[in-house]
Chains A and B, each alone.
Chain A
Amino acid sequence: MYKLILISLILFLNTTFANSLIKVDITRGNLDPLPIAVSPLHVDPKSENRENIKVKELGDKISKIIENNFRSTGLFNPLAKDAFVQKPDIAHLKPRFEDWRLIKAQALVTGKIIVKDEKLKVEFRLWDLTASKEMIALAFTTTPSNWRRVAHIISDKIYERLTGEDGYFDTRIIYVAESGPKDKRVKKLAIMDQDGANTKYLTLGNELVLTPRFNPANQLVTYLSYFRNLPRVYLLDIETGVQEVVGNFPGMTFAPRFSPDGKKIIMSFAKDGNSDIYTMDLESRVVERITDHSSIDTSPSYSPDGKYIAFNSDRSGLQQIYVMKSDGSNVKRVTFGNGLYGTPVWSPRGDLIAFTKVRKGRFYIGVMRVDGTGERLLTENFYQEAPSWSPNGRVLVFYRETKSGEKGEGFSAKLWSIDITGYNERKIKTETDASDPSWSSLLSK
């Protein structure tokens, strides 16, 4: 459904990678965001109008999505358009740098689009206004219905050029959409673009569904469903809608995640009061038992090289995080701080593990090095858990529940994001209440 006929990214002008050009440092909280002007993209008057898409407005809409993406990073400060001094088409050809500098912009984005023969052609440029130089010029072609993704792809390219890191805007988040009173919650799988647009519901809400997770290699999803009141791990292809139960376990399977190559599912299997960790190869269907311990072992997460698994266990008496080799050997406890630790999730960069910590009745989302040292708690609240990484390993999305009153009133669940710097905490807009978010890989890479 999201098939992209694209993408031929053509570097059509030589880009200079001079050191003197502007660079945004994302490794610390940025209190001085870069002022950037995003000019509306010029719409070629020869463009053909399309059903459902007002082509004339597209240039403006795309620039607003780019601005919104930039603002959400906390690293950029998109400037108000009413102060812009040059028309989009002229600015795109050759901006008058001194005029843009006058409104205190340090970078400028310009572009143009044309819709013709069922195709949307886009080109855009990023200008360094201080050095009076072009930093990127790119062109690509896609289907007109993909116009929102055009904005995200442009955002990613500019983010990459200015920060030196991969972007994360052309991505989606799968989550559980919640509605109804607290004791009769209706839960559906839902998917949306990273910025909250294009929400689609993937299940009807007839059965309880929990913890959807993306395959890092493709558009498959694994999740827990109570279909026929049997809690089992399922696999869902979001392109075709085909679902299947994972394996043939005589009991509850839960806490699923994919291996980094997307070929295995790792999960917990509970039997006779004991939960252990298993993997199943999706092709051969071979099931392997990874842990064998009388305690609860759950929430497994692979390191991005596939060599290690982080998980939580109460084998010490209380819930703590452990790391082992992917064959189950060499189990080492890595959390020793005061409190309980759960939901370890390995960063896609491999350098950190994100977790939920519970201490004195408060819930924290934090990160630590993979050996458990260097713990940093990013945010504290009444209840929050289940962090999921942006594909570049810079942002975490998680869910937060509010305290409810005597009759359950005032209860809500929402998605939030925070940078691993601990700055830039934001609520993510969703159509309904939401929990258990999972962030996809970049859709076009």
Chain B
Amino acid sequence: MKFKINLRTVILVLLASFALSACATQKKAGMEGDVYTGSETVKYLASGVPDRVFFATNKSSLTTKSRDTLRKQATYLRKNKNLNITIEGHADERGTREYNLALGERRANAAKDYLMTYGVSGNRISVISYGKEKPVNTASTPLAWSQNRRSVTVKVN
């Protein structure tokens, strides 16, 4: 009996530590696939309203988390009707310059379209692509690249 309990405890402890370590590496990497999920570089338009969303390599589709962030932005913008915004689209340094300019523009527009779906007028939104020209993290690492593949919503007034 005693032996059994011990074994069970050992197994539980082992499982718990596995889960913890898996959790820790996930946190540290801050990525799902190659989309950044952390908050290291994120700023806020208002409390609880992140200013940016992240993208997979060569992609401009919005993840579930990105859509969640953009809905928060839409709610905030609907409440602050006098606010206009620019959405900046960015790419990482691992593509050719011209393609990255186009990709940044596509990413910024993906965010814009989603905000419009949630009731923000297109007249209030301008977009600009910087391609790979303005990295937020200057390291040449997969983590830095994931933080640089982004669209950022910036207040203009």
A contact residues vs B (CB 8 Å cutoff)? 181-183, 185, 208, 210-211, 224, 229, 231, 252, 254-255, 268, 270, 272-275, 296, 298-299, 312, 314, 318-319, 340, 342-343, 356, 358, 361, 382-383, 385-386, 401, 403-408, 411, 436
Contacts and interface: CB of A to CB of B under 8 A. Distances in A.
Contact of A386 (B97, B103, B108): B97
B97 A436 contact: yes
B98 A252 contact: no
A298 B138 contact: no
Interface in B110-157: 110, 113, 128-129, 133-136, 138-141
B29 to A, nearest CB: 15
Contacts of A231: 101, 128-129
B98 A343 contact: yes
Nearest to B107: A273
A231 B99 CA distance: 14
B37 interface: no
A224 to B, nearest CB: 8
A371 to B, nearest CB: 22
Given A298-B102, A404-B140, A272 B109 contact: yes
Contacts, number: 104
Chain A CB count within 10 A is highest, among B101, B106, B134, B135, for B101
B1 to A, nearest CB: 54
B94 interface: yes
A182 B98 contact: no
Contacts of B96: 299, 312, 319, 342-343, 356, 358, 385-386
B60 interface: yes
Contacts of B95: 319, 340, 342, 358
A296 B140 contact: no
Give the 6 A-B CB pairs with smallest separation, nearest first.
A408-B138, A273-B109, A342-B96, A275-B102, A182-B138, A296-B102
Contacts of B113: 273
Interface in B44-63: 58, 60
A408 B102 contact: no
15 contacts: A183-B138, A210-B133, A211-B97, A224-B101, A252-B101, A254-B102, A270-B105, A319-B58, A319-B96, A342-B98, A343-B96, A361-B94, A403-B140, A405-B139, A408-B139
Nearest to A343: B96
A257 B103 CA distance: 20
A254 B101 contact: yes
Chain B CB count within 10 A is highest, among A181, A270, A274, A342, for A270
A314 B58 contact: yes
A298 B99 contact: yes
Contacts of A405: 139-140
Nearest to B105: A270
Contacts of A275: 102, 105-106
Interface string B72-102: 0000000000000000000001111111011
A229 B128 contact: yes
Given A210-B97, A343-B98, A358-B94, A252 B138 contact: no
A300 to B, nearest CB: 10
Given A183-B138, A407-B138, A274 B101 contact: no
A352 B47 CA distance: 56
Given A275-B102, A296-B103, A318-B58, A411 B97 contact: no
Contacts of B106: 270, 273-275, 296
A338 B118 CA distance: 40
Given A183-B135, A358-B94, 15 more contacts: A211-B97, A224-B101, A229-B128, A252-B129, A255-B101, A275-B105, A296-B99, A314-B99, A343-B96, A385-B97, A386-B97, A401-B93, A408-B135, A408-B138, A411-B140
B10 to A, nearest CB: 39
Contacts of B133: 185, 208, 210
A296 B113 CA distance: 17
Contact of B141 (A185, A211, A406): A406
A312 B60 CA distance: 18
B99 A299 contact: yes
B98 A273 contact: no
B99 A342 contact: yes
Contacts of B129: 231, 252, 270
Nearest to A276: B102
Contact of B139 (A208, A254, A272, A406): A406
B129 to A, nearest CB: 6
Contacts of B93: 383, 401
Nearest to A410: B140
A365 B103 CA distance: 21
Contacts of B140: 382, 403-405, 411
B97 A270 contact: no
A254 B96 CA distance: 13
Given A296-B103, A407-B139, A408-B139, A268 B98 contact: yes
Contacts of A255: 98, 101
Contacts of B139: 404-408
Contacts of B135: 182-183, 408
B94 A252 contact: no
Given A298-B99, A299-B98, A403-B140, A252 B105 contact: yes
B136 A273 contact: no
A182 B96 CA distance: 17
Contacts of A361: 94
A296 B101 CA distance: 10
